[in-house]
Amino acid sequence: MSFVRHPASRRRAPWLGGALVCALLAPGPGRAADTRPRASLVVQALDSGAEREAIRLYRLLSEQLRQERTLRLAPLEAVVDPRPSDDGPAARAEALFSQGKRAYDTLELEQAAQLLGRAAATLEASPDAVERATYEKILTYLGASLVLLERSRQAKDAFRRLLLCNPRAELDPVVFPPNLGEVFRRVAAEVRRAPKGSLRIEPSPAGAELWVDGVAQGVAPARVAELVSGAHLVQLRRPGYRPYGAWVRVRARAETRHQAELDLIPGSGARLRELVRRLGDEAPESTYPQVVDELLGWFGADRLFFLRVGGAAPRLRVQAFTYDGSSHLRLREVVEELDATPEGFAERLGLFLASLLEEPTVVAHGSAETAHDVPVLPPVADLAVEPAPEEPEGEDSVWSSWWLWTCIGVVVVGGLAAGLALGLPGESSPSGAEVVFSF
């Protein structure tokens, strides 16, 4: 059987191909380009007492900017903090867990116990890289493998480490047999009856986000109470500093104090600190410091919110600046004293952010001595049509020109003459050499 291609189909093929390409390239309803300006937030503590509150402001305002519909947040962590390596401890532990779980599912229990034990040891040796969910899965299957291998002591140790990390952990009865659940429940009862203590974390510099056993605990320095005595995972994060992690043994019926030294990231961390220092020096004196361009270019953002925080809770003095990179203008400067008590603090910050997003005036680019306010023009659709300005007195205008009134008179007289001539009956038209006015 042979197929004959109709000539018309050959003529239509290029058009159809072009239409297909256009359809693929055109953004569909779900692929519309996001044209909102990208905004970054930088917060500077003016004194050591404000370090903790500066980080707290940074986190709360970052979350509110993520929910802002007119802007897209370009978080500085994306370019400042090191990204997890594809072959780092977390990735290796995840790969070992996948292999160990496959071995467990096929009842190769000895191999499963070895792989899962290596996965747990990999994370425990790098506490800064531990992710709670992965660590819990590893210890759950490790304990289950050891129970089935009748290594009761080792199994209980794995379950105890799991329950210290998450006292509410449970075994899924659909996945694990009843004998496993019974061993787990006995260990859980022992752990929950164990005496408790507290832990105080003091980082240097102050002002780092704190996680204990994978649960966010605010900003350190901080005290965490009601922890079961034993080893607990402490993790600290601060923009521009290396992630910190440590296993800290909490003593029963006592407060354990742990001091942590945070290391500045040599490249990006040192650069961020220097740029923020320069901006802090220049922001009060210059309308648009050049360092803003360096920060915006580095962060890949169009707008920068810069906050300088001084004092301590409950009263914080905040000086905030809004810079626009496309126009090289400082849009806003807001100075406010915030009540940092927990009740309603997020709502107060929301109002403060709203004042930063308002743009009634901007400050022109130039030195502080020559700066002046420039009104921000509304969108074109909002502009009202204004009447034409009146001519100043004492100056000639078009309406006062003699030639305009002469032309108007000639047109009026000629129109009247033509109308009268067409309306008079019985007389012949005048010759080309005559000019006749009939009234």
- Give one DSSP letter per residue of 117-182, joined into a string: HHHHHHHHT-GGG--HHHHHHHHHHHHHHHHHTT-HHHHHHHHHHHHHH-TT----TTTS-HHHHH
pLDDT digits (tens, 9 = 90+) for 193-210: 999 999 999 999 999 999
Q: Which helix (H) or strand (E) is 308 found in, with range? A: strand 303-312
Write the CATH number of the domain with boundaries 35-81+265-378.
3.40.50
SS3 annotation, 287-299:
CCCHHHHHHHHHH
Contact between 318 and 399 (Cβ < 8 Å): no
State the pLDDT confidence band at 386, using cuts at 50, 70 and 90: very low
pTM beyond 0.75: the answer is: no
Q: What span, in angstroms and rounded, lies between the C-alpha atoms of 67 and 62? A: 9
Contact between 159 and 143 (Cβ < 8 Å): yes
Task: Note the pLDDT of residue 404.
Answer: 53
Please give the CATH topology (third level) of the domain spanning 196-261: Immunoglobulin-like (2.60.40)
Task: Note the pLDDT of residue 23.
Answer: 34
Least confident span in 6-15, 17-26, 58-67, 174-183 = 17-26
State the pLDDT confidence band at 408, using cuts at 50, 70 and 90: low
Query: Mean of the pLDDT values across residues 273-291?
Result: 93
Task: Note the pLDDT of residue 345.
Answer: 79
Better pLDDT: 92 or 81: 92
Could you check whether the bond before residue 314 is cis, i.e. omega within 30 degrees of 0? yes
Task: Note the pLDDT of residue 364.
Answer: 44
Contact between 342 and 60 (Cβ < 8 Å): no
Q: How do strand 303-312 and strand 315-324 relate by DSSP bridges?
A: antiparallel
Task: Note the pLDDT of residue 354.
Answer: 87
Task: Note the pLDDT of residue 3.
Answer: 39
Q: Which of 279, 275, 376 is nearest to 332 (CA)?
A: 376
Task: Note the pLDDT of residue 197.
Answer: 96
Least confident span in 115-119, 331-335, 384-388 = 384-388
Q: What span, in angstroms and rounded, lies between the C-alpha atoms of 201 and 210? A: 8
Better pLDDT: 406 or 88: 88
Q: Which of 37, 75, 36, 35 is nearest to 303 (CA)?
A: 37
Contact between 234 and 248 (Cβ < 8 Å): yes
Least confident span in 5-19, 68-82, 170-184 = 5-19
- The residue extents of the domains of the chain are 35-81+265-378, 89-193, 196-261
Residue 420, classed as helix, strand or coil, is: helix
Q: Is the pLDDT of residue 384 over 70?
A: no
pLDDT digits (tens, 9 = 90+) for 213-227: 999 999 999 999 999
Q: What span, in angstroms and rounded, lies between the C-alpha atoms of 278 and 284? A: 11
Answer whether CATH 1.25.40.10 is correct for domain 89-193: yes
Contact between 321 and 363 (Cβ < 8 Å): no
Contacts of 412 (CB under 8 A, 6+ apart): none
Query: Mean of the pLDDT values across residues 382-406?
Result: 48
For the chain, what percent of residues have pLDDT higher than 70?
A: 74
Query: Mean of the pLDDT values across residues 292-298?
Result: 95
Task: Note the pLDDT of residue 78.
Answer: 85
For the chain, what percent of residues have pLDDT higher than 90?
A: 51
Q: What span, in angstroms and rounded, lies between the C-alpha atoms of 2 and 98? A: 54
Task: Note the pLDDT of residue 415.
Answer: 56
pLDDT digits (tens, 9 = 90+) for 244-259: 999 999 999 999 999 9
State the pLDDT confidence band at 401, using cuts at 50, 70 and 90: low
pLDDT digits (tens, 9 = 90+) for 87-138: 799 999 999 999 999 999 999 999 999 999 999 999 999 999 999 999 999 9
Task: Note the pLDDT of residue 316.
Answer: 87
State the pLDDT confidence band at 374, using cuts at 50, 70 and 90: very low
The mean of the pLDDT values for the chain is: 79
Sheet holding 303-312, edge to edge: 72-73, 38-45, 303-312, 315-324, 329-339, 361-363, 373-375
Contact between 142 and 176 (Cβ < 8 Å): no
35-81+265-378 and 196-261 in the same fold: no
Contact between 50 and 317 (Cβ < 8 Å): no
